[in-house]
Each structure stands twice: as structure tokens, then as C-alpha cells.
Amino acid sequence: MFRRSIQLVFLLAPFLAGCIFEPPEECDNVRIIFHYCPEGTVCQTSEHIEQVHLLVFGQDNRLVQQKVVSLDACGTCGTGLNLAPGRYGLVAVGNAFENTVLDAPGTLEGLRLAHPAYLAGNPITTNDSLYLGRKDIVVPPFEILQDTVNFSSIHLAFKILVRGLHLLTTKASEPPVSIVLEGLFPLYTLQQKASGPPQSYYPAGTYYDSSGIFISRFNIFRGNDPDGIFLGLHDNEGNTLERVNMGQLMRQAGIDPDTVGDVTLPLEIVITGMDITIQVSNWETEELEALLH
């Protein structure tokens, strides 16, 4: 009996570290591991997810606990919880930084992800590179529970390269163009996924005056209808220089937004005289460095 007790202490040591002399009700009795393992690849949790907002909902779907967990190049990324025996629903949101608000998180049904600018009635520039995981757990009495929350990407990442801007007149160092995406859903809910009244996004970017190049990187929610999204190139007076349908653009490139992996989709806008073309083009960082020198 004495030997079995010693073995049990060693088994539970990782969970009870720093808690051996504390009252049991103050010790973590639940261990949650975070996994992001894209299909066909090894787990890449901390390579893609820096921070997790973990929300714990009770059996009545009301929020009972929440915490923020930083993931630092961990082999096994996770956290501990102290929960009374019972049923719980876990919601984990990865990378909810300055471009994301967890709006109305008091209940599971009311939880939605939104850009703070949208809630304030201001223009939206981008979404964070968001990941979402859900898990239902049952916490037993007098036992340690370990379980895993698996993440999925809920964002699509884009990068846009605009060339030939030296052909457009503008003030020194001021970008002669801006990019607008029309028809994007501004909210993400657990029930409806991407939703809400369609909005326009205004991605920020960097203008390289000497090379006549503008570069923008931005994210949108997965679940948007690409046929309802339009990418527009505008001049400084707000005139539309070119406008294309994103659904048509993706189909021409053989891209299915419903199945595309966790990659950045490259778009290229080329201005040559009176002609402007917008296409999916796999420009790389090495090519960009050559253009800037």
C-alpha cells in the first residue's frame, strides 16, 4: 500500500507542483493541452499561436472562468484549471490581439469575435490571425483530468503587391493608391461562423517611393462568400482604378477558400500605362528584395 501511494505521488507530481501544501480546492485538477496540427503536418502549435484566451462555460452555457495563456516555443502547450466536478464547455481563441474583441463572452451563445473598430463604428483594417478550438469535458470528483483542445484556423491571410506606382503622380512618400475589400462579414460566432452585415475593409500597407511599390498584408474571417467580395484599387481622390470579384479571381487560380490550408495567398496588382491587372501571383520575399534595390 505504501509503495502504491508513492507511485501515485510521482504520477501526479506535474499537476501538483507548487500545490502540495495548499488546500485541495485551490489546486488545479484539470490539465488542458493545446494542439494545432494541420492535416498532413506535424503539430505546429507555438509556431502559429502566441497566446490563447481560454473560456470555460458551465452546463448552463454561462461563463464560469477565463484566462489568458502565453505559448512560448513549447513542446507541449497547455494550462491548468481548478474546476468543481461537472460538465463544462471550453472555448479557446488563439491570437486575439489588438484586432480582436471577444464580445459578449458571458454566455456561450452570445460569444462573438469582432474587430474593435467595427464595434466603435470605425473602418476595419484587418483581422488577427485567429485560431479556434472547442472541447466538452466532464470533471470527475477526486481525480485529475487531462484533455486536449485542437485548434483550427478561422482566418485567411493575404499579401498584396502593387507595382508600377511610379506612373501615378502623388506627393513625395505618399502612397498614390489604397486598397478596399467590399462585402466582408465583420463577425465570427460559434453558431454562424463568419456573419454580420457586410462591411468594407481598408488594409494598411507600406509604400516604397523609390521603387513605386505598395505592399499590404491582412487577414479576413474564413467562411466569407468569395463571390460576394470585391477587391478595389483606388486613387487618392477615391476614384476606382480597378475592381475585381475575389471569387472569380480565386477560381481562375484554382484556389478553393473552403479547403485552402494555413498559408498566405499572394495577390499582385500591376500598373502598366493605362492597363491594370489583378491576379494571384506567387511573388516571394526574395523577389521583393530585388525590386526594392
Tell me the whole-structure pTM to 2 decimals: 0.88
CA angle 192, 194, 197 (to 5 degrees): 100
CA angle 266, 267, 272 (to 5 degrees): 140
| pLDDT score at 169 | 64
All domains in the chain, ordered by first residue: 22-95+130-153 (2.60.40.2100), 155-291 (2.60.40.2630)
| pLDDT score at 175 | 87
Distance from C-alpha of 242 to C-alpha of 272, rounded to nearest angstrom: 13
β-pairing, 213-221 vs 205-208, is antiparallel
| pLDDT score at 166 | 83
| pLDDT score at 210 | 85
| Cell triple for 219 | 487577414
| pLDDT score at 154 | 97
Residue carrying the nine cell digits 474583441: 101
| pLDDT score at 149 | 97
Report CA-CA distances (Å) from 3 to 6, 7, 8, 9, 10. Answer: 5, 6, 9, 10, 11
| pLDDT score at 240 | 95
| pLDDT score at 7 | 45
Q: Low-confidence residues of the chain, pLDDT below 70?
A: 1-25, 40, 73-76, 169-173, 284-293
CA angle 229, 225, 255 (to 5 degrees): 90
* The 3-state secondary structure of the chain, one letter per residue: CHHHHHHHHHHHHHHHCCCCCCCHHHCCCEEEEEECCCCCCCCCHHHHCCEEEEEEECCCCEEEEEEEEECCCCCCEEEEECCCCEEEEEEEEECCCCCCEEECCCECCCCEEECHHHHCCCCECCCCCCEEEEEEEEECCCCCEEEEEEEEECEEEEEEEEECHHHCCCCCCCCCEEEEEEEECCEEECCCEEECCCEEECCCEEEECCCCEEEEEEEEECCCCHHHCEEEEEECCCCEEEEEEHHHHHHHCCCCCCCCCCCEEEEEEEEECCEEEEEECCCCHHHHHHHCC
